[in-house]
Amino acid sequence: MRDESEAQGAVPCAVVLAESRQDLTRALAVASEVEVPITPRAAGTGRSGGAIPIEGGIVLATLGLGSIVDIDRHEGLAVVEPGVVLADLHAAVEQEGWFYPPDPNSLEQCALGGNLAENSSGPRALKYGGTRDYVLGLDALLVGGDALALGRKTRKGVTGYDLTSLMVGSEGTLAVFARATLRLIAKPESVMTLVALFESVQAAAACVVSLVRPEHGPRCLELMDHVTLQALRDAGNPIDPRAGAMLLIEVDGPQHSVEQHAERIGATCVSRGATSVEAAAHPAQRDRLWSARRELSRALRKLARHKLAHDVVVPRTRLGALLDHVAQYEARSDIRALTYGHAGDGALHVNFLWDADEHAPQVAAAEAALFRRVIELGGTLTAEHGIGLVKAPYLSFEQDSALVGLQRELKRKFDPKGLLNPGKVFAP
C-alpha cells in the first residue's frame, strides 16, 4: 500500500472501508482489544508516507464518510466528514457565497481527513493561512473508540487548552477524525492572475521578497525554476524558451483594488527584471495561466522512475541561498534536482528525480544535506506535507531531544499502547 511519497509499507492484515462513525469506533475498539496497529487513510495523496501501514495491522479507510453534513449560511460554518473531497467542499460553499481558502494543489483528489491530519495548505495560504486556521471543532476518536468533542461551533471561544489545534497536523497519530466544524469566510469579489518570466531564478527569488509587501498583498506567489520550466516545455507547455524562472501571482478583493494591486505588482516585477508579465481576470484565461503549475506533478512524474518531493521552508530573504544550494547540487550530480513551490511563504518543493535504484543512497545523502542547509538558513523541515515516515529520521535536525520527548509523552497520553499510526513523526 502506497501514497504519493517514495515510502514503502507492509501489507495490512485488514482494510476497514468505514462508511459511518460507528465503523470507525468499532475498528478502533478492535485494534485496542487485539493490540494491532491501525493506520487511518483518506485519499492516499500524502507525500510523507503518513497513510502507509509500516507494521501491517489494520488500515482504516475513511473516504466512505463523504458527507457535507451542513453548510450554515448564517453562521458561515461547514460541518464535514473526513472523506469529503476538498474540491467538492469548495464548490458547495462557494455556491452559498462563502469561501474555504485552504487549497492544496491535490484538491481534486485529497480529502478533508488528510487535510486535517497534515494541516495542509496551498498557494492561497500566503494570504489566508492553512487548514488549522479554519478548524473550530473536531469529533475525534481515540484508539479503543472513546470520543473527544473538541473545540466549539462558535467563531470565537477560548475554553480550556486548544486541543483542536494540537489535533490538526497530528498526522493521524493521536486520534481519528469523524467530523470537523470549519469556519468559512466571504468569497472575494474578484481575482486576477499574473505570470512573470525572469531570466534567472535568483532574479525571481529577489522579486518575491519585493512582492510580499502590504501594498501588493498577493494571495498566491508561486515560483518555478529553469529545470521545472524545461520539464513543462518537454510536456508540451508553450513557455518562452528564454525564460529561466516563472512567478505565478494572484491577487483578490474588490474589483477596483484588485486592478490597482495587479498593476503595481506588474510594475514591481518589471523593475526587478521580469522579461514579460501577462495578467488575466477572466476565469478561462486565469485557468490557462495556472495550467503549467497544475500540470507540474504529472509532467515531473514522467521524467524518471523515482521522484522525491520535499516541502522545505526558509525565511523569504533566504530563498536565493536555498535555490543556490539545489542548483549547485544539480550541476555536480547524476540526480536531477529542481525546485518550485509556494515561494511567497518561503516554502519550496525541492524534487529529486532518478531512475537507477542504486542511486538511492546518493539521494538519501542529498536530502540530508538539503535538510541541514534548510536549518542553517533558519528554516523548517516541512511546510505542509508533514514529517510522516519520510522525514522522521531527520526530526532531530530541527528539534532537541527534550522537545521530541515531550511530544512522545503527549502521544503516549492519547495512545498508551502506541497502536495509532506507528512509525510516523517519531522514528522507531
Burial 16-32 (b: 16+ CB within 10 A, else e): bebeebebbbebbebbb
Q: Which of 193, 202, 297, 351 touches ligand FAD (CB under 6 A)?
A: 297
**Do strands 58-61 and 14-17 pair parallel, antiparallel, or not at all (unpaired)?**
parallel
- 379-398 positions binding ligand FAD, by CB under 6 A: 384-385
Q: Does 253 bind ligand FAD (CB under 6 A)?
A: no
From CA 352, how far away is CA 46, in angstroms rounded?
A: 17
State the nearest-atom distance from the C-beta of 273 to ligand FAD, in Å.
27
Q: Does 425 bind ligand FAD (CB under 6 A)?
A: no
Nearer to ligand FAD, 222 or 330 (CB): 222
Candidates 111-119, 155-163, 200-208, 317-325 — which segment interacts with ligand FAD by CB under 6 A? Answer: 111-119
Sheet holding 336-341, edge to edge: 276-280, 190-198, 245-253, 220-224, 336-341, 347-354, 306-313
From residue 409, alpha-carbon distances to 35, 167, 389, 406 in Å are 20, 15, 19, 5
Joined grid coordinates for residue 100: 474555504
Q: Does 40 bind ligand FAD (CB under 6 A)?
A: yes
Q: Which of 9, 53, 57, 104 touches ligand FAD (CB under 6 A)?
A: 104
State the nearest-atom distance from the C-beta of 257 to ligand FAD, in Å.
26
Q: Which of 111, 168, 262, 308 touches ligand FAD (CB under 6 A)?
A: 111
Nearer to ligand FAD, 69 or 356 (CB): 69
Candidates 30-38, 107-115, 184-192, 398-406 — which segment interacts with ligand FAD by CB under 6 A? Answer: 107-115
Q: Does 120 bind ligand FAD (CB under 6 A)?
A: yes
Burial 55-68 (b: 16+ CB within 10 A, else e): bbbbbbbbbebbeb
Q: Which residues contact 300 (CB under 8 A, 6 or more apart)?
A: 228, 231, 307, 338, 351, 353
From CA 204, how far away is CA 196, in angstroms rounded?
A: 9
State the nearest-atom distance from the C-beta of 36 to ligand FAD, in Å.
15
State the nearest-atom distance from the C-beta of 162 to ligand FAD, in Å.
18
3-state secondary structure of 165: helix
Q: Which of 117, 150, 211, 280 touches ligand FAD (CB under 6 A)?
A: 117
- Taking only Cα atoms into account, the Rg of the chain, rounded to an integer number of angstroms, comes to 22
Using CB under 6 A, count the residues that bind ligand FAD.
36
Nearer to ligand FAD, 76 or 113 (CB): 113
Q: Which of 12, 82, 244, 422 touches ligand FAD (CB under 6 A)?
A: 82
Chain mean position to CA 55: 25
Is the Cα dihedral 237, 239, 242, 247 positive or negative?
Answer: negative
From CA 343, how far away is CA 126, in angstroms rounded?
A: 9
x/- track of binding to ligand FAD for residues 165-194 (CB under 6 A):
------xx---xx-----------------
The residue with its CB nearest to ligand FAD is: 114
Joined grid coordinates for residue 42: 483518506
CB-CB contact of 375 with 397 (8 Å): yes
x/- track of binding to ligand FAD for residues 350-379 (CB under 6 A):
------------------------------
Candidates 38-46, 72-80, 193-201, 358-366 — which segment interacts with ligand FAD by CB under 6 A? Answer: 38-46
From CA 216, how far away is CA 34, in angstroms rounded?
A: 57
Q: Does 31 bind ligand FAD (CB under 6 A)?
A: no
Joined grid coordinates for residue 17: 472501508
- 315-354 positions binding ligand FAD, by CB under 6 A: none
Q: Which of 9, 12, 37, 46 touches ligand FAD (CB under 6 A)?
A: 46
Q: Of 273, 267, 290, nearest to 216 (Cα)?
A: 267
Q: Which residues bind ligand FAD (CB under 6 A)?
A: 3-4, 39-47, 50-51, 62, 82, 104-106, 110-111, 113-115, 117-118, 120-122, 171-172, 176-177, 297, 384-385, 421
